[in-house]
A and B are shown apart, each in its own frame.
Chain A
Amino acid sequence: MIGNPFATGSATDAAFTAAAGRFFELLKTFTTPPAATAGQTADFGALGTQLAGQFEQWLKGSSGAGAAFAAAAGFPGGAAGWPPGAVPLGPAAAGQGAQAQNAWELLMKLGTLQGELARYWSEIAQDSAQRFMARVGGGGAADLTSERALALYETWVHCAEEAYGATVRKEDFCRLQAELANTATALLLAQRRQADTLARAWGLPTREEADALQRQIRELRQQLAERAAGSSANPSPRKSAARKAAAGKTAAARKSGPKATARGRRAAPRRARSGGKGRA
């Protein structure tokens, strides 16, 4: 059996608890719409506003949508509280000015873009609430049965998904999202450059050096593979005869069906080190 690499059982509990909490909150809103006045008459127009407000908060904070965009840009939980760059210390302080300035500018740009994104969340929330109110009309929810509660919830999810889908497909939104991801990545790289400056000052290998080493290893591996392929393409006469024999056996095996031949097995490029039986 396959092990559980991320132990997601507890994550499922948490996701379920959060979704159930949000569901209860929605039902509470359905059952107790805001009163228009102190006269206690339910104001279903205000219900839309309340739903939109709650929904906007969820969009901004939920891992399902709002925060996902920040996370997808490389910064889990968004950029709030994230330092504008490594603190210049000791000998590394010299020459850090331009780098720090660049990182700061990128951070400011990211903040502006996130502000623009927040406007879209607001638009989605308003649109969802309008769609929902239009669909359920002024139908009160004072005597909410189980069936009615679920029907309202299904309608709400449908409206929210519709409103969300309409906004996130817009060209402007797609452009903004890409810009957000690109800016966050540029900021990450700017921070890395600052860290590299410090690493250099402390005599540690930098990211660039590690990358260069990896490229070198990769090239060497390719050269080795090419040499191996070259030597097998020009075999010695003895090896060539053996290959012909193998080809004969392979042809014979083909006639009798797709069974493994001993030669064929030996021809395998490389055996798995852990070839024992067992479940994955």
Chain B
Amino acid sequence: MSDSATGPAGLFVDLGARAAETLARLRLARDVEVGCSARRAVWTAEKTTLYEYLPLAGAPRARRRPLLVCFALVNRPYILDLQPDTSLIRRLLGAGFPVYMVEWGDPDDGDRQRELNDYLEQGLGGCVRHILAAHGIDSLDLMGVCQGGVFSLCYSALHPGEVANLVTLTTAVDFQTPDDLLSKWMRGLDTELLARAGNVPGELLNALFLALMPFRLTQHKYVRLLTGGADQRAVEDFVRMERWIFDSPPQAAVALMQYVRWFYQENRLIRGTLELGGRAVDLKSVRAPLLNLYASADHIVPPAACAVMGRYVGSRDYTACAIDTGHIGMYVSRRAREEIPQRIIGWLGAHAGGARARRRAAR
């Protein structure tokens, strides 16, 4: 704010002008676009679509293993490719990785009975099988984000031979850590009743996430936009983020209630009591090398919920790293632009040869 605004009257004049200016910029940014990398749909089943990102011109044509990105059901994956300067996808393509992304689509009334196992086996499993067949390979690299990380862990446990390397971002394994507010709120829900009520609209989930930190998320961030002297570009970045935050798909009733009950209420993943499609999910069966990145200031998936992953998985090659940012900062902050892609690309590069090559190198 300008230094001339030294008294209350001057302050209000200054702020009023800034508010009008910011609002005008927001209106100009209304039609801003999200998603920056070219891609094509290569496989679909039910509402799940597998996209393959097209290689970047000039990117090294390294012989990389394909990388499949599995995002959460509760948000859209384009946050990973929101705009060129923060796009993790673009960085991966730039490093020569063939990158694929699962998009879950929007469940409708006919999907009310859809179960977690359907998402895992038909959805994620279908994508994995397609990529393996298309590339003529036995295993791929899998990167799971948030709830998608939980799915990736489960899939790796059930199909250990298909996952060469596993990367998890902001992925909880212990759903009952003391600092997990979302978990506390979930404990008393009657999941049978809620499943009967039908699919859950995305707006409801948004309201729940905002209620975790209502002042910062519904007031403070807008005031900072007003007082921070945001130029048009910063406002456009802000609007892109807003669009993503409030663009939440509805949730299939049964799958969501299974997730709430089995993970949040019963903490089955680390208790070893989780079963999907009649098969036990044992995290000790996850033996692929594992890179676990999580945010040290995450209000949705607390760091303590992620940090303990190494205790439960069977991977001997396990690397964990706390990044100094929040949940969304993992995808769009300055660190997201620099540290996170560097870590992932470096780690995957070092694990490119698979277990046999690493053993040879160790000798």
Contact surface of A with B, Cβ cutoff 8 Å: 1-2, 4-6, 8-13, 15-20, 22-24, 27, 31-32, 62-65, 67-69, 71-72, 74, 76, 142-147, 149-150, 153, 157, 160-161, 164-165, 168-169, 174-175, 177-179, 181-182, 185-186, 188-189, 210-211, 214-215, 217-218, 249-250, 253-254, 257-261, 263-265, 267-280
One of B24-32, B166-174, B288-296, B306-314 at the interface: B24-32
Question: Per a CB cutoff under 8 Å, which of B49, B196, B204, B219 touches A72?
Answer: B204
Asked if B261 is at the interface (CB within 8 A of a chain A CB), the reply is no
B226 near A64 with CB under 8 A, answer no
Inter-chain CB contacts under 8 Å: number: 269
Would you give 21 A-B contacts (Cβ < 8 Å), ordered by A? A9-B29, A10-B30, A20-B226, A32-B8, A63-B218, A64-B217, A71-B204, A72-B208, A72-B211, A144-B7, A161-B215, A168-B185, A250-B136, A258-B98, A258-B136, A260-B134, A260-B136, A269-B133, A270-B126, A272-B50, A280-B78
Asked if B322 is at the interface (CB within 8 A of a chain A CB), the reply is no
Within 8 A of A (CB), among B1-22: 1-3, 5-8, 11-12, 14-15, 19, 22
In the bound complex, CA of A2 to CA of B33 (Å): 7
Apart from A146-B1, A271-B42, what are 5 other A-B pairs with CB-CB below 8 Å?
A: A15-B242, A16-B26, A20-B223, A65-B218, A250-B137
A264 near B215 with CB under 8 A, answer no
| B9, closest chain A residue (CB) | A31
In the bound complex, CA of A211 to CA of B63 (Å): 49
Interface string of B197-227 (1 = CB under 8 A from A): 1000001100110110111111111110111
Q: In the assembled complex, how far is the CB of residue B274 from the closest CB belonging to chain A, in whole angstroms?
A: 21
Question: Per a CB cutoff under 8 Å, which of A8, A174, A189, A215 touches B193?
Answer: A189
In the bound complex, CA of A268 to CA of B52 (Å): 14
A210 near B44 with CB under 8 A, answer no
Q: In the assembled complex, how far is the CB of residue A61 from the closest CB belonging to chain B, in whole angstroms?
A: 12
In the bound complex, CA of A18 to CA of B223 (Å): 10
In the bound complex, CA of A210 to CA of B45 (Å): 23
B126 near A269 with CB under 8 A, answer yes
Q: In the assembled complex, how far is the CB of residue B304 from the closest CB belonging to chain A, in whole angstroms?
A: 15
A275 near B42 with CB under 8 A, answer yes
B15 near A64 with CB under 8 A, answer no
In the bound complex, CA of A185 to CA of B153 (Å): 32
B133 near A265 with CB under 8 A, answer yes
In the bound complex, CA of A46 to CA of B38 (Å): 59
Q: In the assembled complex, how far is the CB of residue A116 from the closest CB belonging to chain B, in whole angstroms?
A: 14
| B140, closest chain A residue (CB) | A258
Contacts of A23 in B (CB 8 A): 15, 219, 223, 226
Contacts of B32 in A (CB 8 A): 9
Contacts of A18 in B (CB 8 A): 222
Asked if B72 is at the interface (CB within 8 A of a chain A CB), the reply is no
A63 near B35 with CB under 8 A, answer no
Question: Per a CB cutoff under 8 Å, which of B33, B188, B214, B215 touches A179?
Answer: B188
Q: In the assembled complex, how far is the CB of residue B46 from the closest CB belonging to chain A, in whole angstroms?
A: 9
In the bound complex, CA of A165 to CA of B38 (Å): 42
Asked if B284 is at the interface (CB within 8 A of a chain A CB), the reply is no
